[in-house]
Structure formats: structure tokens, C-alpha cells
A and B are shown apart, each in its own frame.
Chain A
Amino acid sequence: MRPMAQIAMVMNLDKCIGCHTCSVSCKEAWTDRQGMEHVWFNNVETRPGQGYPRRYEDQERWRGGWRLNRRGALKPTAGGRLRKLAGIFSPPELPATEDYEEPWTYDHTNRAGAPAHGDLDPVAERARRQASDKVRNEFEQTFMFYLPRICEHCLNPSCVASCPSGAMYKRAEDGVVLVDQDRCRGWRMCVTGCPYKKVYFNDRTGKAEKCTLCAPRIEAGLPTVCSETCVGRLRYLGVVLYDADKVTAAASVPREQDLYEAQLDVFLDPEDTRVRRACEAAGIPDDWLAAARRSPVHALISKYRVALPLHPEYRTMPMVWYIPPLSPVVEALTETGHDGEDARNLFGAIDALRIPLEYLAEMFTAGDVGPVRSALERLAAMRSHMRAVNLGEDPDPSVSAAVGMGVYEIEEMYRLLSVAEYADRYVIPTAAVGDARRLEESALTQGCSLDYEGGPGSGGDGPFGRGSGRKLLPLTPVEKFHILGERRTADHTADVEET
């Protein structure tokens, strides 16, 4: 056992209202600058729909993620290292600007090519092949939900594997996948390699950039900006413990439908004393272990099993999971002539959801409707149980028992999904003191943080003085702040002397 800890996220799609506050606050924080106009580290897609960038899930075309080769070993879909090296100067398979959408310029002509509504959703196409009559674009059959996406911070990241320069890495401390800007040479293999298309190319700097899981905030124990601002309160952040030794084998199980279970097997139970001892031995700080035990993400993924991975078939072992949307269930059941409010009928309804199970299964379980159904059944059972409580009746214990849960357990799950406050939704240990130093160093390119011109000591360009650390960091000096202020209020740019 080689235990490691990662900060992971769960999003409850039942609660997403598609307001995009996450997208905008992320954009403001991270990508509101030149070269990044087309980039949304966090985006929200309407499903069914083409997604962002357009049809990114069509791996026949974009060649992201991993495949098993004939010997059953993992290989990047876009080709191994040799093939990459051979073709290093030919452009990789990349989405074009129009796939990301032209930046808005108050000029309508660029919007003329905006994507048509209707089909062109690769997931819908696949689901339709499996269950042709269920996914339809008709008024009466309309269904819709929103899918917010950030980088998956995968356990088995294909972007990292794709990088010829070794600029991408998965941080050992908390599992965050990052691009080292100094080492990035702009090959863009990572953009192809990521099946979620969550690594972006900045054509101003010529380097790749991506979601950092708001690393500076996470290190300080704060949730990501997208979580902080989430209006629907659908995001959960917490520690997941996993066994690093098992990742490759799990990502290599032959059947795509087994990948979900395989990934669950990689996760470690923080209540297991053997696991805790192993963690301690592996140097995982105590507050991280404590956080793992209180982790809402662990609870939703492993304990209640209501959260599912997005496209496990890409074999990257994603670490942002989703609770599938439940609604609307009663209507569908009622149409079959049953009493939709009756708890005994509730589970039968899941198969008749307005949102076809088959569509959800194509997103979350490589087409296997079993885990989706079971997650939704748990949610439905919870609602039924709580309805009785709400109306002052005695809940029927057989309802929770039917989904393998106890009465208190289902009420705890309800509390987490419904009432949970900020501190319950985001359980984030700060980077421990020992790690803090390493993390600080990781922001500099190499060596010690005190290792700069003039040597250790006070004054001058110290880490806490002007511009802190090496000049590699183009931080804004204080005097510029005043120039900026003046420029803002001046009538003409020329009025302010650039110093």
C-alpha cells in the first residue's frame, strides 16, 4: 500500500441551475487576460449539447485519454512517446478557436458561425445507438441539465503523460495537476492528450495553462473560487485517500464498464485503522487524515455511492465526480399509471426518468446504467423518507433498507446534500508547515526560496520585498499601483507618465 492524499471535488448536478457564476468568477480570477480570451478553466455546459470546446467528447477525432494496446497495457490514445517525438513538429490534433467560440467583440459577424442547437452531441449520439428511442429532441420529451466542468486532476493524467518537456506534473501533496510555466515549451501535446480538453494553449505566452484547483487558496484551506461563489451550493471539496500502487492496474481493467468500480477500489477508507497507520508512515499529516475522515467527497463517492466519475472510459481516473440529476421522476412514473408519490413505486420510476438513464450512463459509467440507477434510487429513497418526516409521519424503514441504508444514514446523507453549510461542504486541510515550505519552493523554479541574487538576508529584492523572489515572477511593484490608479481616472493615456 502506498497511500496518498488528494483534494477532490464532487458536484451535485441536481442542484446546478446553470448560472455560470463559477465560470465568471474563475475567469476573473485566472484567465482575464490576453491570449486567454477563449479559455474558461471552469465552464458550464447545457446537456444535451455539444460541450466546450465543441464535441470534446468525440475522442475519435480529438484522440485524448488512454487506450489499452493489444497487450492490455495503457497507451495514450494520441500515441506513445516515440510517435510523438517523430511528429513533434507537426501540429497535434487541437480544437480551433471557433471550437472554443470566437471571443465576443460586439461584432456580430464572428457570431455567425455560432454552433447550431439540436444534435451534434456525441454523448447523445452514443446513447441513441444504444437506446434509440429515448434520447429525442422533441418538445414533449425535452430534458436538460447543466454540467459544470473544471480540470479533473486525474490520478492517471494523460496530459502529464503527453508532455514531451516534463513541464506537467501531479503535485504529490494534494494531487493538483499543474503546468510548470518555465519548463513548458508549448508543444501542445497536453491539449490533445487531455480527453476533457481542460488544458489550454495561451497563444500570447506560447505556453499551456490549466485549472490549478486554485492551489493558493486550497493551500490556505480555502475552497476554489468556483466553489466559493457557487450559487447553487452544489460543490463539495474534500480529501480522498488512495493507494498509488493500484492506480495503473485499475486504469487498465479491460472492460470500460468496470472502471468505475476499479477506481473505487483504489480509494482507501480513512476509517480503516490499517490505512491510517500506513498514511502516517507515508508522511501524510494528521490534519489531512482528520479531514479525510470528515471528507464530504469521500462520503458521497465511497460511502453513499451517489457520486460518479465523468467519462471513466477515458481511463484517466478523474477526481471530480458528479451526482447525476434525479429530476423529474414522479411525472414519468405517473405516466405509467402509478401513483408517483407512493414510495413503493418510486424505484420503478427511475427507469422512466425524463432524463434517460442511458444518456447519463454514457456520461458517467461508460454506458452501464446500473450504478446510475442505484445512485438515483438512493436519492429517491431519501426524498421519500424525508417526505414522511416533513409531513410528521413515521418514516417507513423499508424505504431506506431497500437501498441498503439505515434510517440515520439516509438522514445524514440528506443533511449533507441539503442542509450542509459551508464548513460541511468544504473540508480542506491547510498545507502543513512542513509541506508549506516545499510548496513555496514549488512556486519558484528550483532550489531554495532564499537562493537568489545577494544571498539570504534581509532587504533588497527579498522574498517579502519588491517583487519577491526571483525576477522570474513578474509581480506588480507598488509604485505601479498608483500609476494604474491615475490612468484609470485620467482622460488620456498620455496624461500619465510611464515610469
Chain B
Amino acid sequence: MTDTQIPPAAPAEPGAALLEAGRFFRPGTPAPDAHGVAAFSWYACSPTRVRHPYVRGVLLEMYWEAKERLRDPVLAWADVQSDPERRRRYQRARGKGGLVRASWDEATELVAAAQVHTIKTYGPDRVAGFFAAPAMSMVSHAAGARFHALIGAPMLSFHDGYADLPVASPQVLGDQADVPESGDWWDAAHLLLWGSDVPVTRTPDAHWLAEARYRGQKVVAVGPDHAGHASFADEWLHPHPGTDGALALAMGHVILKEFFVDRETPFFADYVQKFTDLPFLVTLAERDGAYVPAKFLRASDLGPEGEGAEWKTVVLDEVAGRAVVPNGSLGFRWTASGKGRWNLELGATRPRLSLYGSEDAAGVEVLLPRFDTEGGAPGQGRGAVVRRGVPAMKAGGARGPLVTTVFDLLLAQYGVARDGLPGRWPASYDDADAPGTPAWQEAHTSVPAATCVRIAREFARTAEQSAGRCMILTGTGTTHWFHSETIHRAVLALLQLTGCQGRNGGGWAHYGGREKCRPMTGWATLATASDWSRPPRRMTGTAYWYLHTDQWRHDLCTADVLASPLGAGRFRGMTGADCLALSVRSGWMPSYPTFDRSPLELGEVFGDPVARVVAELRAGTLKFACEDPDAPENWPRVLTLWRADLFGSPEKGADHFARHLLGTHSSPRAEEAPEEVRPRDVAWRDEAPEGKLDLLLSLDFRQTPSTLVSDVVLPAATRYEKHDLSSTDLHPCVDSCAPAVDPPGQPRTDFDTFKALAERLSEQAVGHLGVRKDLVASPLQHDTPGEIAQPGGVASDWKRGECDPVPGRTMPDLTVVERDYTAIGAQFSALGPLVERLGLSTKGITLLPDEEVEDLRLLNGVTDDGRPRLDTAIKAANTILALSGATNGRLATQGFRALDARTGQETAHLTDEHEGKRITYADTQAAPVPVITSPERSGSEADGRRYAAFTLNTEHGKPWHTLTGRQHFFLDHDWIHELGEALPVYRPPLDLHKLLGEPRRGPDGQPEVTVRHLTPHDKWSLHCEYQDDLFMLALSHGGQHLWMSPRDAEAIGVADNAWVEAVDRNGVIVARAVVSHRIPPGTVYTHRAQERTAAGPKAETAGRHGGLRYSPARLILKPSHLVGGYAQLSWAFNYLGPTGNQRDEVTVIRRRSQEVD
């Protein structure tokens, strides 16, 4: 044997810990067991490890000089900031080295000084924090977020900015990314992997795929390239990138025709009747001699108004033959009379799915938009309208509104004909001109029509046979598109029509970006500091970057080019920035900084600050900051990143970040918008500001693209060097991180760093800040009564006089919060009194953890004023666990009782087996601990079953958190109608040539090729490793690479491994080509999270170092994402909001000189 070697230390025994967790798997199911990511050990002492605090040298010298003079950190910082020349000097040095070592003391003093100065001068909402995916390290996240919440600074969302947030999820399901655990893949009889390459992105769980296949599961992969999952699958469909929606619609066409119209499938019919909005009545509005679908028919349309009548939707009862208001809609959720009736019980009511064949109904022609035609200058298929027919009748007597059902509209939209209805219908599956047919989709996707029909049939047949055990896994492949929600809605429709949602082994398994904080309530309490003050400021990341990196100034995509040919012209003259401003002032989306004045100033006016703000807004003397984002008083000033590589990973438009936010050198090539496409309501300044940010702080354990541009870098402990909690949507457990080694040098845990910052800030606040009153504006929030603020989804703009500005109704809610800035350190380290005084709310259910607070006093010890201590990461972890239903049986039961009171159903028994269970941090250290079924989620884990979302809904009559209380096919908000997306519809990828003047795709005569530029995950970036790991670089191609097809490579004379550049108007990437026949012609791949520290030579195009893979991307806002204040279309953090998008991009690829530097 090689006896010079020390035998490897035995790793943790055969996953003894996981075997423990495995006991909760029923026999005959493959249980989880040990596996690990060995390569992490590289980081313990890698050359890129951050070992000490660093400050940008030029800044530190200026600060020292000023401090020497002024003897006060805050005044010293103010002095540097007050001099534009000095300010620009260190800003221009960002990203160019020059970080020097500082002591912890110096570094925290400087950071605290910057924060105090900013709060004092501009207001706390000019400070912000950013962190990605809290579930992986809840304590780390909560620590920083708590610090920001206590000082009144916004936390920025990540799920949307990463483009991972599926907007369809709230739209259709009223919930965000509630998905089955991976063990439930096993339960599926049919699995469609649609744009989700599980072996690469969900590596540790991919074994379930192979195992389930042996159990006779049929596996179909849909993805443009021959990726890992294609090797697994029985069939591989490769539609053209971004055309997936057409394939899904055509599959829906086949299912509707063969399983609903040609023959009725009782299992399906029963399901859609109970659990979807298909039987609900929709009013029809007259338009050009025909009709268009308008709004859901509500109780208020029919008669005298009762409580919540504007929120009670209506069906036609087959038995009684009249309109009936069934339980479960939003009108029952927040009203006193709805108590015990917010449920899915239909009683004797039999909702009629279709009016077809009813005596009172007659066929009328409806107009529906289509976007797949070559149409108009913007290339968005404008002007095309489909004429089809639905059976309609007058509701509530001859003078009542003309109505039809959602189901009838759906058949019209999908082009499924029934005899006797007016309109133009496809002749057969082979009718390629009619939207919806298999032949039509073939023209768009290249997937043969016969294959589409066959797969759809198999899918539905299996669903019928297995009682709903068909599952569709989606991921970033379907999500990173501008029109992603239209893809997802068409995909979701397949599952809803076949009765698969809310089943073990069935339903939508969407994995992308967001992990699941299992102990949600406790984590959120700490993270929002809602134990001390409410509400916290939480901001949509995408909108923040769109405004503050000035991408809005480069946005040529006006809102009305996206509008439906049947729209009412609502977006006329509006840009993305205008839509955002309207959304903000209507209370739909949050916006921080909020006003063009400090919220401390607004909170401290004489009299009623709220009334004063409303009056000033009405008078126009006070403006929203987003209406003039380039005004210096509206800039963000201090930004802190921790456990998040903002500049390396999620951001789109990297060069805009560099120029406008950071004020350093960049290579943006985009022109600003010409006058005719500039915003209507948002101020345009001639000079775009450069260098808005005073201070960028990063906490990280390795050098990343973000640390390279930061002013202060604080060394962080890795997950193997700190105490923390972690959980994921894939596994039903709470797990711990615990120190396995000591970090090298001076790293601290994120918890300790923020604790130190909080204490330092409190110190410096004396004399500069003291106790202040802060006026917080917050949007109308989902799962609160705020979601019934704007009935009917009618968009009214108070600024244009369409309604009155009323806080919490037609504009954001306004609250005055008192903050003692000298006590931030003390509050950080103690659990505040609002926990037991006001209770903790999650998804509309309020828990009262009074006993838990008592227990925490004993467990954590108390402060001088008797509050439980939170001064260590372990105490924070224990507090998170104690305050959540998922980890505290008593609270789970309490929550279910509260839910039962509202629904009138019986669910509290689901926690019987665990009511006495209290999971502590020590338990999670011994073994990952399976969580308790809790009303914080929509599925049951009772009795050893795998977690599947929405089983509480299908099995216990609990409504979905939507308008109708059911899953929605139909969305009737004004803005959704304006976009023509009231029903699932196919919207092709953006035509960027027509929209933004990007080159056309295809060879253009030059030794260049213009291609679709996709940015998927690769094997070893981001998800389980970073790309700069030595072993991983050695095993892979290494460095920055770009995959392309042999045909495209040949066209530009590129051999495998040659240097190429990918260029568009936003930026440039320099990479080595990987030429592979696995990539379809016309498409290139740049994998996510390739590290600048491992690659990135200078580009010929700009002469500067090439960017990262999102350099060519940019932010464009879609108005439908900005809708709010209306049922499930209401904002919540990481639930709904504008998303980034990057797959619509096209770039030019060319061979470059093979000499690089």
C-alpha cells in the first residue's frame, strides 16, 4: 500500500445522522444517506481566502486624515463625502486593487460612521443590505437583516433579481415556490423535467430520478441542449429556446380536447370543479361587435352589498340553475362573517363547468389576443386577434351582466372547438395557422406535432390512471425569460387540468434560486426585528438595481409595445420606470429610498405626520424618490453584501453597476434612450450620475468579483467555521452548521460581525442620532388585509385624479416607527417585547409564543431588562427554532387551531404526533431533524409522508390564498388584461433586434455569428461549489468558457478552445470556446458564476477586462410583475415583484486574437 499516506479520517459514520432522519421515510422508499461536497476544504486556506479586514487604501488614508483633524468618526466621514474630488478619487479606485489591511476596530468604526452619517443626512432608507438564499444559513442572514431592520434600512430581495422568482406561482397558486421535497419525485408515475437539469443543479438528489425510473416512472426531458437530464430520460424534446410555452399550450389543447370535450374524465372534471377557478363566472364586455373577457363576476355585481361582497366570486349551480357564491373566496378570509367559511366545501352546490348546452346560454363571439405573429415594429406580434366563441348568458336576470365561465374561455383560448359556437376554430391538430394546435406549436418549437400529441396523451392517461401522480420539474430554463410567467402558466395548466396539484408524486416542482426556511416564523422574526419594531423595510431587488444603476436610462423597451392589441392604451407613453413609479405610488410595490426627503424628517413633523405626507404628496411638494432617482438626495449611499456575490452572480448589466452605482471604469456600450422613449412621470437629468454609493461593504470568506470592488472587506467564517441553521425545499429537515475547524487569520462569523457593527453604531449614534421617529411606507401586502385594498383589480392612479390618495388603500401604508439609535446594539442582542405582545404572523396566521418566550428566558438567559438574550449565534438559532411551528409542536398546533377557526375545517390533528416536540439547536447538531407539519406551509408531512405542496388544500378543504380561493387560470387585473395575459397564452422570446436594435440572429456575412445567449448553471458553480476551486478547475475546462455548436464555430473559424468574444450593447465577455455537438446551432451557453478571480483577460472590444456572463444582459421590467394590492397579486418579500431576465439575450460571437492579457 502507499504507506506514506495517513489513512483518511473516517468521515461522519454512514450518514448516521441521516439514517436517523431516514427513519421518517416509509419502508420501500429510498432514504437519504451520506454524501458530501469534499472540495470545500480547498477554501479553508486557499490563496483567495480573506483572512483580515481590508479597506480601500486611498479611502482609509483620507478618513485618517479627516479623523485626525475632526476627532469624530462621523464628522470625518462627512468631511470626505462633502468633497466631490476626494469622493470620486476612491470611487474610481474600486476594482483596481489597493485594498490594505485594517484592524477590526478601524474597519467597524469606519463602516458605522458611514451608516450614522447617512441616516443622519439622508435617512435610514438610504442604507441597504443584500443577502441571497437565507435558508442555507438562517442565522447569518437573520443577523445582518436584523441589524438593517433595527436601523430602518431596507433588505433587498434576491429571488426576483436572480430571475429565479416564478411570477406565475403567486398568480396561479397564491403562494411562492412551495414545492415537493425531492423524496416525492419518487412517488411520481410520470416525470417531466422541463428546463431543470437536476443532475447539475440538484446534484445530491438526482439519485431519486434514477431510482424512480426503475420503479417504472416515465421520464421526459425538455431542454434545448443534450444536458445531463437528457441522458436520464426516456424521451428528450428539444424545443427552440424560449418557445416552451407553445409546446405546453398545444399539450393542453390535446388534453382539453380528448379528456374534457371528446369524453369527460370524471377524475379531472371533479378536480377542476373543486380546486380551480374554471367554473367561476366571468363578465364579458362588448368590443368591436364582439366581446372580450372582463372581470370575475362578484356578489356585489348581483345584488345588495354584503360584507366582502366585492371579494366574493360566483359560480352557476347546476342543481339550482342559478348563480351561487361558494365558500372560500377572499371575501371570506378577512371578514367577520367569513369566519368558519373560508373553505372549499361546496355543500350541495354543483358548480357548472361550462354554460355549453344550458338553455339560457347562447354562443357569442369573443376576441382573444395572439402574440406569435410577425407583427409591428416592436416585433411583439401586435395587432393580431383571434375570434372564437363561448356560450354566454345573463347572470341574475335579463338585466344582469353577460357572463361565461373560465372553462369556456379556456377552451376558446386553446382553440378547442365545440359544435355550434361562433368564431374561427382549428380544423384539426394539423392546422398550423391556429394558435393552440400541435401543428402550430411545431412551427414555433420544432418539436414534431405527433410527439407533442403523444406526450400529452401519455401524461393525461397516466394522471388518470395514477390519480394525479404526474409531476413537472421546472427550473431556470423556463424561468429566466422575460415572459416566463406565460410559460409557467401554460405548464401549470397541464397539472391543474389533470388533477395533479396537491398530490404526493404530482404537481409543480419548481426549483430555482429560493431555498426554504423551514422554521419560517422564527427566522422572519429575527430577520425583520419584528420583536422590536414593525413594519420592516423590504425592497424588491430588481427595481432597486433598475433604478439605481440607471439601467432605466438605457431602457428602450417601452411598456406599450408589450400591450395586447385588445388593450385600452393604459401604457401609452409609459416606460418601465413610469410603470414602477405608478406601482409604487399605488401601494403595489415597495420603494426605498421612498421619498425625496429623509423619512426621519417626515416622521418628526408637527401634528400628524401621515396626514402631512398625504397632503404634501397631493400638493406635489413631496415626491417619491423613484420619480427622480438620479437626484443626489435619492441615491442609495451605503450597501452591505454578505454571503452574496452581487457583482459576480445575480446582477444583470454589470457595466451599469460599475459606472453608475460604483463610479469606476466600465465598458457599457449602450446609448441612453432618445427623447421619444424617455419616461413620462420620472425626471430625466441630462447627466447620469456616476458613483452613487458612498460605501460598499462586503463580508466574505473568499475574494469574489464583489470584494474586488468593495471599499471595506470583512473576513467571514465559512459554514464549517460557524454555528448556523440550514434547511432546503428538497429535504424535510432542519440541519445545522457547526464549526469543524478554526478559520485562518481573523475571520468572524456574520453574527459576530453584525453584533459588533450594531454596538459600534450605537456608540457613534450618541450625539449624532439619538431617538428618532421614522416614517415607514409599506406596500399592500399579500396574506394581510392589505390584499383586499383594491377591489376588482381596477388600476386607479391618484396622481392623475382617478382616485384619492388614501394610505393603505390607494397608496402605500404609512407608519411612524420610533428608533433609539443608541440602543441598536442592545436590541440586536435581545429578543424584543413585541413577540408576545403582538404575536407573530406568517401567511395570515398569527401565533402567540408567550410560553416560548418564558422558555427562552431560561434557555438563553436574560438581559438587565428581562428580555431573553440573543448574544450568540446558538441563542439566535434556538430562538428561531422555538418561534416556528415547523420546529415547535405547540405552535404548529396553535397555528392550525387558528386556521381551523377561519376555515371551519379540522386540521389540528395533523400535529398530534408532534405536539410535544421542541426542536433545539443541539438536536440539529446531533442529526438533521425532520420538521413538523405546520400551517406555515401548504402540505402535510404527518405520518411519514413526503412533503408535497397544497395537500392541505386538496385534502382538508383549505383554500388557496387567491381571489377565488382556488387555483387560477384567469387573472382579471386591469394591467394583466392590458398585456393580454388574462388566460395562458404563448409569448415568444423578446425580439431584441426590433426592440433594442440588437443585431439579428444568424450569420451576417462577417466572421461573426449572432446567437441566442443562454446562461444556465454548470456543474460546479454556485450550487455546491464555487468555480474558483482548484480541484474543480483542474477537472473541468477551467476558466471562463462559452459552449457553442460545431456549425456556429465553423462559421466563424473557431476551433475548440479558441478565444472568442461575446458582445452586445451592454458588455463583453472574453472566453474560450468549447465546441460541442450537444449544443444546438444558433445558441451559445455561458455558464453561471464563472469567477473573475480565475479568469477574465482583456477584451479587444473595449480594451478592458471582459465581464462576467451577465454583462450582456440587462434589466427590463414587465408591468405584470408590478401589479399589487389585489388578492394573490399583492406584494410580499420574495413572493412577487419584478424579476430580472437574461435568456432573451442575443449576442455576437466572434473569434478574437489568440494573444490575451
Contacts and interface: CB of A to CB of B under 8 A. Distances in A.
Interface of A: 12, 14-15, 17-21, 23-25, 27-30, 37, 101, 103-104, 106, 108, 111-112, 114, 116-118, 137-139, 142-145, 176, 178-179, 181, 205, 209-210, 212, 214-217, 220, 222, 225, 228-234, 325, 327-331, 334, 340-341, 379, 382-392, 414, 417-423, 442-443, 473-476, 485, 488-489, 491
B1030 interface: yes
Contact of B1075 (A37, A117, A229): A117
Contacts of B19: 422
A275 B981 CA distance: 73
Contacts of B905: none
Given A111-B1039, A341-B218, A443-B3, A422 B1074 contact: no
A420 B215 CA distance: 13
Contact of B6 (A20, A214, A328, A475): A475
B2 interface: yes
B234 A21 contact: no
Nearest to A43: B1035
A106 B1094 contact: yes
Given A29-B8, A390-B189, A443 B1 contact: yes
B206 A231 contact: yes
Most buried by B among A111, A325, A442: A111
Contacts of B215: 383, 386-387, 389-390, 414, 418
A229 B204 contact: no
B35 A391 contact: no
A230 B210 CA distance: 14
Interface in B178-224: 189, 199-200, 203-204, 206-207, 210-219
B31 A117 contact: no
Contact of A327 (B11, B31, B217, B234): B234
B38 A327 contact: no
Interface stretch (B225-233, B245-253, B284-292, B384-392): B225-233
B913 to A, nearest CB: 24
Given A117-B1075, A214-B8, A108 B1097 contact: yes
B274 to A, nearest CB: 23
Contacts of A331: 233-236
A181 B233 CA distance: 46
Given A111-B1057, A112-B1057, A474-B4, A386 B214 contact: yes
In the A-B complex, the 8 residue pairs with the closest CB atoms:
A387-B216, A29-B8, A216-B7, A17-B199, A25-B38, A330-B234, A142-B226, A104-B1034
Interface stretch (B699-707, B890-898, B1077-1085): B1077-1085
A231 B204 contact: yes
Interface in B1-53: 1-8, 10-11, 14-15, 19, 22, 28-31, 33-39, 41, 45
Contacts of B210: 12, 14-15, 232, 234
Contacts of B37: 21
B745 interface: yes
A488 B5 CA distance: 22
Contacts of A390: 189, 215-217, 466
Most buried by A among B1, B235, B1046, B1078: B1
A438 B543 CA distance: 70
A388 B226 contact: no
B2 A209 contact: yes
A422 B34 CA distance: 9
Nearest to B1024: A19
B1011 to A, nearest CB: 15
Contacts of B1072: 108, 111
Contacts of A112: 1057
Contacts of B33: 233, 421-422
Contact of B1056 (A116, A387, A489): A116
A389 B216 CA distance: 8
A181 B38 contact: no
B335 interface: no
Given A112-B1057, A137-B1077, A142-B226, A230 B214 contact: no
B261 interface: no
Nearest to A144: B231
A418 B204 CA distance: 15
A301 B398 CA distance: 78
Given A17-B203, A28-B41, 7 more contacts: A23-B1031, A24-B1035, A111-B1072, A114-B1038, A233-B33, A233-B207, A334-B454
Count class of interface residues, chain B: 35 or more
Most buried by B among A20, A179, A215, A389: A20
Interface of B: 1-8, 10-11, 14-15, 19, 22, 28-31, 33-39, 41, 45, 189, 199-200, 203-204, 206-207, 210-219, 226, 228, 230-236, 454, 458, 462, 465-466, 742, 744-745, 1019-1020, 1030-1035, 1037-1039, 1045-1046, 1055-1057, 1072, 1074-1081, 1094-1095, 1097, 1156
Contact of B207 (A108, A231, A443): A231
A419 B1056 contact: no
Nearest to B203: A19
A383 B213 contact: yes
A491 B1075 CA distance: 44
Contacts of B1095: 108
Given A15-B207, A144-B226, A422 B14 contact: yes
A386 B216 contact: yes
Given A117-B1074, A231-B206, A21 B2 contact: no
A102 to B, nearest CB: 9
Given A216-B7, A421-B31, A422-B15, A414 B206 contact: no
A143 B200 CA distance: 17
B228 A18 contact: yes
A117 B1076 contact: yes
Nearest to B13: A222
B4 A181 contact: yes
A491 B51 CA distance: 9
Nearest to A15: B210
A116 B214 contact: no
Nearest to B15: A422
Given A138-B1077, A476-B6, A328 B234 contact: yes
Given A101-B1034, A212-B2, A488-B744, A328 B207 contact: no
B501 to A, nearest CB: 20
A327 B35 contact: no
17 contacts: A23-B1031, A28-B8, A103-B1034, A111-B1057, A139-B1080, A181-B2, A205-B4, A231-B35, A234-B210, A328-B231, A331-B235, A334-B235, A341-B458, A417-B214, A422-B33, A443-B3, A488-B744
Given A328-B235, A414-B215, A139 B30 contact: no
A28 B1030 CA distance: 12
Contacts of A387: 189, 215-218
Contacts of A341: 218, 458
Most buried by B among A112, A143, A231, A331: A231
B12 to A, nearest CB: 10
A466 B1097 CA distance: 51
A15 B202 CA distance: 14
A386 B215 CA distance: 5
B29 A19 contact: no
Given A111-B1038, A117-B1075, A215 B1 contact: yes
Contact of A114 (B34, B744, B1037, B1097): B1037
A179 B1030 CA distance: 28
B465 A391 contact: yes
A20 B8 contact: no
Given A217-B7, A228-B34, A443-B1, A327 B232 contact: yes
A210 B1 CA distance: 8
Contacts of B28: 419
A413 B231 CA distance: 22
A340 B226 contact: no
Contacts of A475: 6
Nearest to A330: B234
